[in-house]
Structures are given as structure tokens and as C-alpha cells.
């Protein structure tokens, strides 16, 4: 794990085979997303992309905050929005384009950029103490790290408008009812549950996981007739992993996937 031990703003561990855990590590700042933190997370995900020992990643914070948002102390004085900063943009784009499954375990606050980071995750579980929100309107701003586009696609226009235009926070129960999270748990079980899901995910073919994620995400950006992409889906049936999956099912044994 030496390749993941160089960071100061995140902690990286591998609690299960093929599962990586990234913990945001700025507790005193409620895990505010500084440029350095985002750059470190992007770097860790870049390494994980090429690491065959990683098939799924869990990202989490601490009990009080997943992340309370962008680091206001880094807000520029020249009037240019901080989300337009080139370094931040590169980091966000790397996180957005991460091909492997990304699971969020949320406790406490997930506000502003923290909520937008949640929106980039593929599966989200949260504790009963979780609070989600886009409070940027309160400082005459808006969620510019993708929130204005991803939030309405996920929970619908009216609900997204409510969150963005009022800046109000929603609790875990409402987040579940609105489809922002898939499960609500006691806060001391959140990370364990996310890791449990990640362990199940990581047992599947890595090429099938990446292709399945890509296909689902395509539905948010392309018309239905284009995103159906039958030709692309058929490529999965030509892989060694697909042959292994069929053989292991017939032979009643656990499959041994290689990602080919």
C-alpha cells in the first residue's frame, strides 16, 4: 500500500481484497474540499484505475461530516468563481471519469461540494444523522461543481429547485425518499455497510463492472435510442470473463475473473 501512503488530506486503506477505502481527512474543517484534498483524491483514483487489485472504491468522511463543501478560505478575491479554477476542474473531472464503481458512505453533513461529490458516486448509503444540502445561494452563488445539472437528473426538477433556491438541508429520511441515497442506517454501521456492498461488487468481473457503470451513466447524457447501444453491450459477450462466468455457473463454482 506504499503507493497510497503519500497523502495528507485523505487516508487510503484496503480493508478487503479488491476494495479501496478513501477517507477525507480534514476533520477540523469538516472535511472541506480544498484544492489539495481534491488533487490527492484524484491522484488516488488515477492510481486505482490502473491497479488490478482494486475493483471498487468506498469514499467516506467522519461521524460529523462527509464534507461540508468547498473550502471558503480558498475563494479567490478577483471575483472568478472557485469552481472555474483549472486545478479544481482537473481534479473534479478525474473523479467524474473514474471508471470503477464508487460508493459513498455518508455521515453528518454533505453540503455544497460535499453533496456534489456524493452525486458523482454510483451507490450511496448514509447514517441517520446525515444532512444533504446545496447552501451556495446563501452566499449569492450556486452549486457549480455539477450540482445544477446532476441533482435534477437524480431527484427531479421541483425537488432540486427547492434545495438549490432555498439552500435548505434535507435529512437522511427525505434523501432516501427522494432517491439521493439507497439505504439509511445507524451512523455507526454506515461504513461497514458500504464496505459490505463494495465487497460484493468487487467479486464480479471488472470489465463487466466498468461497462455496466458506463452504460447506466450514458442514460443521463444521451437520447434513449443512442444510449441503448446494443452493439456496445454485445462486446461484453465476447470477453474471457463472460466465458468464465458461464463456465463457473455450469460447473457450480466461484468464477475467477481476470478483466479480459
Cell of 184: 439509511
Q: Is 208 helix (H, G, I), strand (E, B) or coil?
A: helix
Is 215 considered catalytic here?
no
Q: Is 175 helix (H, G, I), strand (E, B) or coil?
A: helix
DSSP assignment of 42-111, as one string?
Answer: HHHHHHHHT-TTEEEEEEE--SSEEE--B-GGG--SSS--GGG-HHHHHHHHHHHT--S-EEEEE-SEEE
The active-site residue, picked from 44, 110, 127, 136, is 136
The active-site residue, picked from 68, 70, 110, 175, is 70
Cell of 190: 454506515
The whole-angstrom distance between residue 239's C-alpha and the CA centroid of its chain comes to 27
Rounded to 5°, angle at Cα 146 from 157 and 62:
105
- Which residues have a Cβ under 8 Å from the Cβ of 129 and sit 6 or more positions away? 63, 107, 108, 172, 187
**Alpha carbon distance 260, 239 (integer Å):** 6
The active-site residue, picked from 69, 112, 113, 147, is 113
* Cβ-contact 145, 92 below 8 angstroms: yes
Q: Is 24 helix (H, G, I), strand (E, B) or coil?
A: strand
Is 136 considered catalytic here?
yes
Is 183 considered catalytic here?
no
The active-site residue, picked from 116, 127, 133, 160, is 116
Strand partners, 54: 18
Cell of 135: 447552501
Is 40 considered catalytic here?
no
Show which residues are catalytic. Answer: 70, 113, 116, 136
Amino acid at each position: 500500500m506504499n503507493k497510497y501512503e503519500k497523502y495528507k488530506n485523505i487516508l487510503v486503506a484496503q480493508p478487503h481484497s479488491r476494495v479501496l477505502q478513501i477517507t477525507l481527512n480534514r476533520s477540523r474543517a469538516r472535511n472541506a474540499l480544498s484544492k489539495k484534498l481534491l488533487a490527492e483524491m484524484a491522484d488516488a483514483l488515477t492510481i486505482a484505475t490502473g491497479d488490478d487489485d482494486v475493483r471498487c472504491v468506498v469514499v467516506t468522511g467522519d461521524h460529523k461530516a462527509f464534507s461540508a463543501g468547498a473550502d471558503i478560505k480558498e475563494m479567490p478575491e478577483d471575483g472568478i468563481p472557485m469552481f472555474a479554477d483549472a486545478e479544481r476542474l482537473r481534479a473534479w473531472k478525474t473523479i467524474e471519469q473514474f471508471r470503477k464503481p464508487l460508493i459513498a458512505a455518508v455521515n453528518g453533513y454533505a453540503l455544497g461540494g460535499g453533496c456534489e461529490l456524493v452525486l458523482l458516486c454510483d451507490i450511496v448509503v448514509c447514517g441517520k444523522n446525515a444532512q444533504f444540502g446545496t447552501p451556495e445561494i446563501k452566499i449569492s452563488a450556486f452549486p457549480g461543481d455539477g450540482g445544477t445539472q446532476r441533482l435534477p437528473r437524480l431527484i427531479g426538477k421541483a425537488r432540486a429547485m427547492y434545495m438549490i433556491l432555498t439552500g435548505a438541508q434535507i435529512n437522511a429520511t427525505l434523501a432516501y425518499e427522494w432517491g439521493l441515497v439507497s439505504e439509511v442506517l445507524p451512523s455507526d454501521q454506515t461504513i461497514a455497510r458500504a464496505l459490505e456492498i463494495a465487497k460484493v461488487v468487487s467479486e464480479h468481473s471488472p470489465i463487466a463492472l466498468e461497462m455496466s457503470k458506463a452504460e447506466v451513466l450514458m442514460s443521463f447524457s444521451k437520447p434513449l435510442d443512442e444510449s441503448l447501444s446494443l452493439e456496445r453491450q454485445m462486446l461484453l459477450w465476447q470477453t474471457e470473463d463472460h466465458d468464465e462466468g458461464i463456465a463457473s455457473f455450469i460447473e457450480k463454482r466461484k468464477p475467477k475473473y481476470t478483466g479480459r
